[in-house]
Amino acid sequence: MEIISGDIEEAGLFLSGWLWIRGIPTNAVAKLVGIAQQARKIAADDPRKLIHSLKVGLALTLVSLFYYFQPLYSSFGVSAMWAVMTVVVVFEFSVGATLGKGLNRGLATLAAGALGLAAHHLATVTGKTCEPILIGLFVFLQAVASTFIRFFPRVKARYDYGMLIFILTFCLVSISGLRTDEILDLAQKRFSTIVIGASTCLTVSIFVYPVWAGEDLHKLVAKNIEKLGNFLEGFGREYFETANEKSHETRASMVGYKAILNSKATEESLVNFAKWEPRHGKFRYWHPWDQYLKIGTLTRECACRIDALNACLNSEMQAPLEIRRKMKEACTEMSWECSNALRELAVGIKTMTRSSPADPHMRKAESAANDLKSLLQTPMWPGSHLLDVCPAATVASLLIEIVSSTAKIADSVHELASLSKFKKPNAITPDQKENVTIIPVDNVNEGNVMIVVPHDNIESIDRSHQSSNE
């Protein structure tokens, strides 16, 4: 009996051990499949990441082979190393970041090289005893000062990498035991390799599917404003209607705003990169990048209010339907018109036109807010408890705040439009002319000009006229 149970135990151990060993390849395969799926997802979400990888590979291969085939190239050459190092370290995702790092590296190397040379010279003329003491002192003082300067917020944002290279180059030059003319010779070689590396990076970065940080920032800000609009569009439907089948989809599209709450760091780094970028596409030199930060801050403020509104939507405390019905018209109008205004603003940013179509929506939203206020000014609705009114009142006042927040966003977008000279809404092209009516302006307002209006959009007088007043 004992023998049998022992055998069974042994067999069991053996079996579990065998299953474990057999499980290794299965687990490994499952893990590899998981990684492959993740990789495919990353590439599908943003194909530019895959393209960037190919670009880095291209630049690196070019530089490596250039040095490999050089006639002077003998062994593990220091020069080749610096070029390869420059490519690996400088090549970043966007043109702005690459250019910023390249310039930082180049300029810091020059400045630190000159200063290091001076320090080295000063130390050598004092004689053999003082030399190491002086060099140690110079290295120490320079490292302390430069490291501390890296904590200055403005330096940290734009010149952090430059300061790092400054410290490095200064140390290398000043502790080198070479004669001044040897250092100069070496410095020249070193600098030319860095220039070769950096210019390979920049050429590949700019001419092969370039990724512009400025464009990304521009799109991100527009996208974020659109997300606010998406929430508000869904909100009117969700809060005042009974749940229907579409509900799940709508909810999913509504919570997109949550990403905005943590967008500050991304926006700031994009602005820093964008400032390095040369003129490209529709973006001129001195494009008002800082204005995007202002819009971003206002967008986040609005997203915070929307988050509170979302909490009301999911809260256990809900106003009864009859109370909601009383406010329904004004509230739906407010969220709908705000949503439209925000979307028009987003479209205006994306197409870089002055988005005055948003203004009529804003006016309607503001008048709906006033309607709501006067509705609330009527004496209390009899029979309703304050506890029932309370959540509805919260929604109402949050919506009122969101309207004023949207107005602020609209103002800052208009400011951006005028600062960066967005184009006016399209002038009428010759082939559109057949479809327009000419109406005397007296019908529109007090001016004495004739205005041409496309047949299919008489409403737009209001918009185009308004934009010309800006």
Cβ proximity of 163 and 150 under 8 Å: yes
Site string for a second copy, 247-286 (x = CB under 8 A): --------------xx-xx---------------------
The reply on whether position 438 binds a second copy by CB under 8 A is no
Q: Which residues of 63-72 are buried (b: 16+ CB within 10 A; e: fewer)?
A: beeebeeeee
Chain residues 217-246 in contact with a second copy, contact rule CB under 8 A = none
- Considering the complex, what minimum distance in angstroms separates the CB of residue 214 from a second copy? 21
The reply on whether position 460 binds a second copy by CB under 8 A is no
The reply on whether position 141 binds a second copy by CB under 8 A is yes
Side-chain-side CA neighbours of residue 214 (13 Å): 23
| Single residue of 26, 61, 418, 435 touching a second copy by CB under 8 A | 61
What is the spatial distance between Cα 281 and Cα 215, in angstroms, rounded to a whole number?
9
Chain residues 280-309 in contact with a second copy, contact rule CB under 8 A = 300-301, 304-305, 307-308
Which residue, 395 or 451, has its beta carbon nearer to a second copy? 395
The reply on whether position 313 binds a second copy by CB under 8 A is no
| Single residue of 5, 129, 242, 377 touching a second copy by CB under 8 A | 377
The reply on whether position 428 binds a second copy by CB under 8 A is no
| Single residue of 231, 337, 391, 410 touching a second copy by CB under 8 A | 391
| Single residue of 14, 18, 20, 152 touching a second copy by CB under 8 A | 152
Site string for a second copy, 169-188 (x = CB under 8 A): --xx--xxxx---xx--x--
- Considering the complex, what minimum distance in angstroms separates the CB of residue 276 from a second copy? 20
The reply on whether position 384 binds a second copy by CB under 8 A is yes
| Single residue of 21, 24, 380, 438 touching a second copy by CB under 8 A | 380
Cβ proximity of 319 and 240 under 8 Å: no
Which residues pair with residue 440 across a beta bridge? 450
Chain residues 9-38 in contact with a second copy, contact rule CB under 8 A = 38
Name the token pair of 7: 């055998």
Cβ proximity of 308 and 258 under 8 Å: no
| Single residue of 167, 213, 232, 295 touching a second copy by CB under 8 A | 167
Task: For residue 322, give the 3-state DSSP assignment.
Answer: helix
Which residue, 113 or 360, has its beta carbon nearer to a second copy? 113
Of 6-14, 246-254, 312-320, 333-341: span binding a second copy (CB under 8 A): 312-320
The reply on whether position 450 binds a second copy by CB under 8 A is no
Cβ proximity of 110 and 104 under 8 Å: no
Pairing between β-strand 436-440 and β-strand 450-454 as defined by DSSP bridges? antiparallel
Cβ proximity of 92 and 56 under 8 Å: no
Long-range (24+ apart) CB contacts under 8 A made by 158-164 are 158/100, 158/272, 158/275, 159/104, 161/100, 161/101, 161/104, 161/105, 161/108, 162/103, 162/104, 162/105, 162/107, 162/108, 163/108, 164/108
